[in-house]
């Protein structure tokens, strides 16, 4: 059911451009700002946590209701697909990629690295993290990630705070799984040998994001593109998007295997 919901939601997301009203989480930003002004619950971290969990619990209860109320599970599928569709984005990565402008104060090589890291980071927010937590926790998991991401985006919240730590926790397994899927989607041997040094460090478990950025940069500029085209903005952008899409396909195949194992 989750695989079908992912395919439906992603099909809608890819082929039907989201209306501006569905791209925005203005209602959530308003709620968070309201409770921030009226801090009835103290300490503040408890206030934040309860506000965050309220919509997540409501969505989880609604999903449970649709699951047990109808044997055919059609409404459960529709509900999960719509919530996932709402949490993906805000819009297609291809659309966002066209709006990216290179910084003017960097040289060509650093600019290409920045572009690849930027697109990778956008893919984490728009696709991979939402899909991962949807598979793990259902519609409530997808909503939980998106609400935390929106709180960080619209508030002066530090990474040391509760919301920042929750965001880092939710992102951690996603980034490692993205790195693994990149090895499968591109040149496994070359990327593995190039990035092994990160895994030999004493704090290797904290190197997840630098490792992903380095692996993506190496894969795009050394495994996917001919050397003489590696400084071309459009070539690097389009190749990075292609690699990210192949990684997404690896994820969908993995979800399909999980479904088959559960059925078996």
| pLDDT tens, residue order, the chain (264 aa) | 788 999 999 889 888 888 888 888 989 989 988 887 776 777 878 888 899 999 999 999 999 999 888 777 899 999 999 999 999 988 888 888 888 887 776 666 788 889 999 999 999 999 999 999 999 999 999 999 999 999 988 776 555 588 889 999 999 999 999 999 999 999 899 999 888 888 777 787 788 899 999 999 999 988 888 765 677 888 899 999 999 999 999 999 998 888 777 764
> Mapping DSSP to helix (H, G, I), strand (E, B) and coil, where does residue 220 land?
helix
List of residues 6+ apart from 149 with CB closer than 8 A: 125, 129, 167
pLDDT given for residue 227 in this prediction:
66
Interaxial angle between packed helices 74-87 and 129-137, expressed in degrees from 0 to 180 and rounded to the nearest 10: 150
* pLDDT at res. 32: 87
Instruction: Please give the distance of CA 221 from its chain centroid, rounded to a whole number.
Output: 23
Count of residues making up the chain: 264
Instruction: State the Cα–Cα distance between residues 198 and 221, nearest whole angstrom.
Output: 19
Conformation bin of residue 155: beta by default, left when phi > 0, alpha when psi is -120 to 50: beta
Contact 218, 185 (CB under 8 A): no
Q: Quote the CA–CA distance of 54 and 144 in Å, as a whole number.
A: 10
Neighbours of 253 (CB within 10 A): 12
Q: What is the pLDDT of residue 222?
A: 87
CB 217 within 8 A of CB 208: no
Provide the 10 A C-beta neighbour count for residue 157: 17
pTM: 0.91
DSSP string, 22-69: HH--HHHHHHHHHHHHS--SSSHHHHHHHHHHHHHHHHHHHHHHHHHH
At 159 the pLDDT is 54
């Amino acid at each position: 059911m989750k695989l079908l919901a992912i395919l439906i939601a992603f099909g809608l997301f890819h082929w039907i451009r989201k209306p501006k009203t569905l791209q925005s989480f203005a209602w959530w930003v308003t709620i968070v700002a309201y409770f921030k002004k009226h801090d009835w619950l103290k300490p503040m971290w408890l206030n934040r946590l309860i506000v965050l969990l309220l919509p997540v619990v409501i969505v989880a209860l609604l999903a449970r209701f649709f699951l047990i109320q109808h044997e055919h599970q059609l409404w459960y599928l529709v509900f999960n697909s719509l919530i996932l569709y709402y949490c993906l984005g805000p819009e297609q990565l291809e659309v966002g990629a066209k709006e990216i402008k290179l910084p003017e104060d960097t040289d060509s090589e650093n600019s290409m690295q920045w572009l690849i890291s930027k697109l990778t980071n956008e893919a984490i927010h728009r696709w991979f993290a939402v899909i991962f937590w949807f598979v793990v926790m259902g519609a409530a998991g997808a909503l939980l990630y998106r609400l935390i991401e929106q709180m960080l985006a619209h508030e002066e919240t530090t990474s040391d705070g509760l919301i920042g730590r929750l965001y880092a926790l939710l992102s951690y397994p996603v980034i490692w799984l993205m790195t693994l899927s990149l090895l499968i989607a591109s040149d496994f041997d070359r990327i593995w040998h190039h990035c092994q040094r990160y895994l030999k460090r004493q704090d290797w478990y904290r190197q997840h994001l630098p490792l992903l950025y380095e692996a993506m940069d190496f894969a795009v500029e050394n495994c996917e593109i001919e050397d003489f085209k590696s400084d071309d903005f459009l070539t690097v952008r389009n190749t990075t998007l292609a690699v990210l899409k192949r990684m997404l396909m690896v994820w969908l195949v993995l979800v399909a295997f999980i479904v088959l194992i559960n059925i078996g």
